[in-house]
Structure formats: structure tokens, C-alpha cells
Chain A
Amino acid sequence: MKMLTIVALISTLATSAFAHSSVDTTTPENGATVDEVPSEISFKFTDDIRLTKVSMIHQEAHTVTLDLGGQTSFGRVFALPFHSMGEGTYRIEWRGLGADGHAMQGEFTFTVD
């Protein structure tokens, strides 16, 4: 019980610092509103990473796992083909492995209006 208490306490205090995320820029940018659904999305990281999973959530209702295709090596820039699901808000969740062995994750959103 004491253990759970302290884990909960630490978790509460440290909310803002969790998840190793080092994404530098994305296209579309986080929070952007664009006219048309992009044909691809891209990530630029500050350090080498190997993407392991990228999911697209449309309107917080439909989730599609994006095909990582030939992304089989560590790198800093990645572009993935993107499938249109029409207008609305898209949330992109990504996970990856840093070259130093850290599991990394993050997300960004954009709106098609």
C-alpha cells in the first residue's frame, strides 16, 4: 500500500516530465489547420530513432495503424503515406526506439477544415 501511495505521489508530481520525446518538427505542424488532407505526414527528430508504430486517430473515433513500409533503419527524418478520412481532427500517435535504447513516444494533432 505504501508503495502504491508513493508511486501515485511521484506520478502526480511529475506529470509534465514523462515520456521521452525528442520530436523536433512535424508536417503538418502540431495544432495546424490545413485545407486538404495531406498525402503524407513527416517527422523530424533531434536524435536518431527507429519508428516502431504510428497510429492515426480520426475525430477520436477511428484508429488506423500507418504502414511504416521501408522505415527499417535508424534516422532523423521520416515521411509516411497518409490516407484521407475526410475533414476533421487527426491525432497522430508515434512510438519509436532511440539509438541509446530509450523507448520514445509522442503525438501531434492537426485539423482538416
Chain B
Amino acid sequence: MPDIWGIGAILSKLMLYVGIGGATGLLIIRVAFSDLVTPLGDKMRVQIALLAGLALAGSVLGYMLRGGALTGGADGMTDPEMLGLLWQTPVGDVLVYRVVGTVLIIAGVFMPLIGQWIALAGGMIALWSFAQIGHLPELEITGARLLLLLHLLGIAFWIGILGPLRALSRQPEYLSSAAMLGHRFGQAASVIVPALIVAGLLMAWMLLGDMRVLMTTGYGQTLLIKIALVGVVLTLATANKLRFVPAMQAGDDKAARHLARSIEIETAVILMVLVATATLTSVLTLPN
């Protein structure tokens, strides 16, 4: 059982995943499907800023919690010596990436014209921070960081579609837009999802080496839980693509309500996947 600092580390990491993944995902969706999500423009802008704010808060909180973990008391969270020590390590570098990235997102999303590209650049910087420290980057395997970044971009794209697709599906007047958004996302996902699975399995192999540890170690068992949850998400996504979206394209507004409900369940399961990931990356040691 992790101590209070471990639990805090998991929660702050979850804030980062939801914030950075959600904000960057919405930015990607806004660029990729701008013609379909126009009715949600102002709402998406506010959501992006709020998610980036959540990530910024998670970054600072996570940094302070690491200070607390060094002394085992709340005093460490504001102890200049502990925070200064952390600053000298890659943890300090990552904080800079995340602060710069999230601030660029917040500033860019409210700027006209090139603002969305500034915000997108901020999202990329924030995502890249995850490839700077952690179990995978520390393996120093060529291409591992790039593979992780591509994996994260794919996940951000997936997370980003959830809100807009649900919002459009719940409004009968946008049924055709929702159907088209679901269809075009499904087309992109048919390429991105297999790539995500391959990248995930490749990274698991890099980290574990021997698949027998999946059953015998806490890290392996948690990874198995994550894979099982991803299986649930894939099942829901398949139902959305093959059943609800085609029905919506045929004008069935009841299917749109089913899709919105399915997305809500999918979002809850994705949150569980992110909790499992935060646990893997925050408090568990690699088996080897």
C-alpha cells in the first residue's frame, strides 16, 4: 500500500493525464474536424483552458508532493532545500516543460489566428514532458521516447473526441454533424488504434522483458488490469463505430442518445485506465 505521498503522487499524475491529454486532444480535434465542431467553439475553448489549468495545478502539486515525500511530512512541500534539490534533477526540467506547455495552451486558445497553433505547440511540449522521465525514458532505448510521444498523441486524440462527440450527439439539430464526426473519427481510429496497441505492447515488452512477471509482480498485475480496461474501452468503441454511428448516419436520433451514453461509460473506463497508468508510473517499481 503506498503511503500518503504515493497516493498524492497518483492523484497529481491523474490530474496531469486528464489535463494535458484532454486539452491537447481537444486542440487536435478542433484542428482536425474544425468544420464539424464549429458549434462547440466557445465551449471547447473554455474546456481546453480549464483542462490546461488542471494540468498546471497537477504539475505544481506533484512537484510539491515530491518535496513532501523527501521529508515524510507536509513541511517538505514548501521546504526550499527539498524543492531546490528536486530542481537540480530531471524533475525540475519536467516542471518547466509542463508549466511552459500549459501556459502556452491557455494563452494560445484565447488568441485569434495563430493562437490555436501556439496552443497546440504547448500541448506537444507538455506531452513531451512525459518522455523525459519515467521508467521507459530511463531505459535509454533508441526511439523509446518518440514511441511514447506517439502513443500519447494517439491517446490524446481519442480522449479529445469524447466531449465534442457526446455534446453533438445530445443535440438533435446536430445529428448529421455528430454522425459525420463519429464516422470520420472511426476512420482515423481504424489506423490509430492498431498503432496504439502495437506501441503499447512494444513498450510493455521493453519495460518487462519477460512476460511471466505479468502474473508474479505488482507491476505486472497492474499492467494486466490496465490492459483489461483498455479491452473494455475497445469493445465500447467498436460498438459505437459499427452500430450507433451507422444508425445515426441513417437519421436515427435514438442511436445518438445511445452513443452519448456509451461515451459516458467509455469516459469512466478511460479514467480507470489513467488511474492504473498513474499507479504504474508513480509508485510501482519495475520488476527488473
Residues in chain A within 8 A of chain B (CB atoms): 2-3, 6-7, 9-20, 50, 52-53, 55, 93, 95-101, 103, 105
Contact = CB atoms under 8 A, between A and B. Distances in A.
A97 B89 CA distance: 9
Contacts of A2: 268, 271-272
A14 B284 contact: yes
B85 A10 contact: no
B69 to A, nearest CB: 4
Interface in B105-122: none
A46 to B, nearest CB: 13
Chain A interface main SS type: mixed
Contacts of A99: 89
A95 B133 contact: no
A44 to B, nearest CB: 19
Contacts of B284: 14, 17-18
A55 B279 CA distance: 27
A52 B66 CA distance: 12
Interface of B: 1-2, 5-7, 10, 66, 69-72, 76, 82, 85-86, 89-92, 94, 133, 138, 217-219, 221-222, 225, 268, 271-272, 275-276, 279, 283-285, 287
A15 B89 contact: no
B82 A52 contact: yes
A95 B222 contact: no
5 contacts: A3-B275, A7-B7, A14-B219, A14-B221, A19-B285
Contact of A13 (B70, B71, B76, B221): B221
Given A6-B272, A101-B89, A101-B91, A53 B70 contact: yes
B190 to A, nearest CB: 29
Contacts of A12: 1
Nearest to B279: A10
B225 A10 contact: yes
A3 to B, nearest CB: 6
Contacts of A52: 70-71, 76, 82, 85
B23 to A, nearest CB: 20
B232 to A, nearest CB: 12
A7 B2 CA distance: 10
B225 A18 contact: no
